[in-house]
Each structure stands twice: as C-alpha cells, then as structure tokens.
C-alpha cells in the first residue's frame, strides 16, 4: 500500500485517545492506525489503563503498539510529563490526539517533546459547556500544528466557541472500510418471516442518539404496519428506558435491543430501512456503514448528515427530535420500495466515492506533513479572533 500524496514509511505516529469503547472516534483511531501501519509507518496507540479494551482488541494483529496510560483529572502536570516521556521513549515523530482531554494533554506533551501535534475533534459536547474547557482547547489548538474537525458544522462551531479563525481548522470526513457480510442471520435470530419489515438503528444507547424518538415513531406506525419491527444495535444508559417505553406502547415483541454487536454489516444487510434519529452528530460511522451497505436511509438533519446524504438525494432527512416527522419519512420509505432501493443505490455510490477509508487516510497523511512545517512557525496569538 503506497500513498500517492506522500511516503509514510519511517514515520513514528502516536494516536492518543481517552476512551477505548466501541465509539466513532475509537473506530477512526483503529482504521487510521491500522492503515498507516500497513503503509509502512510505526504506530503507537496510547489508550487508557483499566478501560474496556475494545480498541486494543481491534488493533490486535495489526502491528500497532499499544501503550496504556493512566489519566488523572481534572488537571495533572505529572501526567503531561509522563506522556512526554513516553513520546520520547517511542521516538514519536508526530502525535495525533482525539477529543478534548487528549487534545489538551497531547498538545502540552508534544510541545515539551518538540514534535508536531495534530488534533481531531469528533464532537462538541465534551468541551462546549464550560468556559475553562473552551479556553483549554483553544490553547491546545494554538500549540498544535493542525486541527481537524470531522464535519463542516463542527468546524464552524469550534471557530465560534474557541474564538479562532476558520483557517485554523481543517475538515476531514470520517471514512470506513466496508466488507460485505458472509452470512445474514438477524431475521432468523428475531424469528421474522418473509412478510415482516425491519427497521435497523446502530449506535450507543445515549439520550443524544435519539432512540427514544424512534420508539415513539414506531408507535405511530404500528397500526398501519402490523408486521413492522425495530432492531437497535448498541449498548448504553437508555436501554432500560427504551425497553420500558416499548412495553408501554405494547411493542415489546416488535422492538429488539440487540446490545453491542460485532456483525454490523450483517445487521445492516437484513434491514428494510436504516434509521439514524440522533439529536446531535458530527459524521457518524454507522451512517457511512449503512450507506456502503446500500440501505435505504432515514436520518436526522444534524451535523454533516445532510452533506453525506447529498441533501436528500441519497436518503430522507428529517428534523431531529420530532417523532411525527420521523414516522412520516419512514412511511414514505416503507410505502415505496422502488424509491427506497434507488436511494440505497445512490447512498452506496456516494459512500464509495467520498467516504472510503483510503480517502481519510490520504488526507491525514497530508495533515501530518503540513503539521511539521506549522510547528516551526510561531504559535498564533491567544487573543480572541474577530473572525
């Protein structure tokens, strides 16, 4: 694997992230580190000690080294010094931090170690609510060679929240590596017959993912579609509340909480419609996977979702947090199978053209190259920007 935009062989790249569960940011780290390792770079993933271990398992067999670090909160100069020592010990040539905590500590440690630093932010909820966090992230951006947002909407929000120029942040959409499933067993697992219709949603069960509105939408459609089922793949704090709401609506036998699954491609291939009811997003990996699979898609119009779905040309967009609007869009999709199949084909073509993992990797290699030059320039002023 040779990248046309630059040679990565010989680079030693650190990937720093504060969590190692099965989330979107963690999946980007796994895809990126694995691809860079295959391209000839030496990669070290700095993961939290005592974590879930999901990300470490994803990296098994890739050649990527895993270094466990013990995060100390809320503020620890000692942790920054230990991170600096680890960067030096591994002879890292560029450090790449994901999300707020490691962005701040990574920028600090990288500056002390004298190496370029790159930040990728996947969302805004970890920093935007507190002024001191915004100031800390602004300082980290000032100390870093390059800062990346996964969507244009997040980039705009960051420039506003952090009082920095738009030119300080680059947008690099997430990318996924799609592999067609060898077997599709979900319908058999749920004991669905040929006449049953299946909605699928994939995502952690957090309030921001909007699954509660999807349950309400199914309740609105239940009488019109008596064989319609919903399967949600993911785990999290709202599982019990969702199950209770399903029982309240008399839908306990039609709403299936699958828990954390590793066979997402197979789950998607069983779906009549993929649904993403999120209240806030950057560019969710689950959406990209659904696009690659050729699913008909109904999704909230938040974050970069409208751009990914070509502003409604590759899937239906709805206002977030409105079960009635979600139900209406699902009704249109379920009631017009030829249209649903056409939208699915458009989504698959768009995914292949814009969101393949190789495009993401190429863009990050360019960022690593640019970051070295950027760190040799004076850091920008910490005074608020007028832009």
- Looking up residue 132, the CATH number of its domain turns out to be 3.40.50.2000
CB 98 within 8 A of CB 32: no
Same domain, 18 and 167: yes
CB 274 within 8 A of CB 200: yes
| CA atoms lying within 13 Å on the CB side of residue 373 | 4
Give the count of domains, the chain: 2
- Residue 145: name the closest of 123, 124, 118, 163 by CA: 118
Residue 112 has pLDDT above 90, yes or no: yes
From residue 16, give the alpha-carbon distance in Å to each of 12, 97, 266. Answer: 13, 5, 30
- Contacts of 304 by beta carbon, 8 Å cutoff, 6+ apart: 150, 151, 152, 153, 154, 173, 281, 282, 283
32 falls within a domain: yes
6 falls within a domain: no
Same domain, 132 and 260: no
- Residue 54: name the closest of 6, 21, 93, 98 by CA: 21
**Residue 50, both tokens:** 């005592």
Domain ranges, residue 29: 12-177+357-375
Residue 287 has pLDDT above 80, yes or no: yes
Same domain, 330 and 370: no
Residue 125 has pLDDT above 90, yes or no: no
Average pLDDT over residues 27-43: 95
Same domain, 164 and 253: no
Position 7 confidence tier, pLDDT thresholds 50, 70, 90: low
Residue 66 has pLDDT above 90, yes or no: yes
**Residue 162, both tokens:** 């952090």
Same domain, 66 and 166: yes
139 falls within a domain: yes
Which pLDDT value is given to residue 45? 98
Query: In angstroms, rounded to a whole number, what is the distance separating the alpha carbons of residues 123 and 121?
Result: 6
pTM comes to 0.85
Q: What is the rounded radius of gyration, in angstroms, for the C-alpha atoms of the chain?
A: 22
Residue 130 has pLDDT above 90, yes or no: no
Same domain, 307 and 370: no
Higher per-residue pLDDT: 174 or 3? 174
Under the phi-then-psi rule, with left for phi > 0, alpha for psi from -120 to 50, and beta for the rest, what region is 321? left
Which pLDDT value is given to residue 380? 39
Query: In angstroms, rounded to a whole number, what is the distance separating the alpha carbons of residues 330 and 273?
Result: 8
Q: What angle do CA 258, 262, 268 make, to 5 degrees?
A: 70
Average pLDDT over residues 271-294: 95
Same domain, 306 and 289: yes
Same domain, 128 and 243: no
Residue 374 has pLDDT above 60, yes or no: no
Query: In angstroms, rounded to a whole number, what is the distance separating the alpha carbons of residues 121 and 13?
Result: 18
């Amino acid at each position: 694997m040779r990248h046309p935009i630059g040679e990565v062989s010989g680079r030693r790249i650190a990937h720093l992230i504060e969590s190692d569960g099965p989330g979107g940011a963690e999946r980007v780290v796994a895809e990126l580190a694995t691809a860079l390792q295959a391209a000839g770079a030496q990669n070290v993933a700095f993961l939290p000690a005592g974590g879930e271990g999901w990300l470490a398992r994803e990296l098994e067999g890739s050649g990527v080294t895993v270094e466990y670090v013990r995060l100390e909160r809320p503020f620890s100069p000692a942790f920054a010094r230990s991170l600096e020592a680890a960067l030096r010990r591994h002879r890292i040539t560029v450090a790449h931090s994901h999300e707020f905590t490691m962005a701040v500590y990574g920028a600090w440690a990288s500056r002390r170690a004298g190496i370029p630093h790159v930040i990728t932010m996947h969302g805004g909820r970890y920093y935007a609510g507190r002024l001191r966090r915004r100031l800390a992230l602004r300082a980290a951006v000032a100390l870093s060679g390059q800062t990346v947002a996964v969507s244009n909407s997040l980039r705009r929000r960051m420039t506003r929240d952090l009082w920095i120029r738009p030119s300080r942040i680059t947008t690099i959409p997430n990318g996924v590596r799609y592999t067609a499933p060898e077997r599709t067993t979900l319908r058999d697992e749920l004991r669905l017959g040929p006449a049953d219709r299946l909605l699928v949603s994939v995502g952690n069960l957090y309030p921001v993912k909007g699954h509660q509105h999807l349950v309400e939408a199914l309740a609105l459609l239940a009488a019109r579609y008596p064989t319609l089922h919903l399967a949600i793949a993911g785990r999290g704090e709202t599982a019990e509340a969702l199950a209770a709401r399903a029982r309240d609506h008399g839908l306990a036998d039609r709403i299936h909480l699958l828990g954390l699954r590793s066979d997402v491609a197979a789950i998607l291939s069983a779906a009549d419609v993929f649904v993403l009811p999120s209240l806030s997003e950057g560019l969710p990996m689950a959406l990209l996977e659904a696009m690659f699979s050729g699913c008909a898609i109904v999704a909230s119009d938040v974050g970069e979702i409208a751009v990914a779905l070509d502003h409604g040309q590759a899937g239906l967009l709805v206002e977030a947090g409105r079960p009635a609007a979600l139900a209406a869009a699902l009704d249109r999709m379920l009631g017009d199978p030829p249209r649903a199949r056409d939208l699915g084909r458009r989504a698959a073509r768009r995914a292949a053209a814009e969101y393949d993992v190789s495009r993401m990797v190429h863009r990050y290699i360019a960022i690593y190259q640019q970051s070295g030059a950027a760190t040799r320039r004076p850091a920008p002023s910490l005074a608020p920007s007028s832009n």
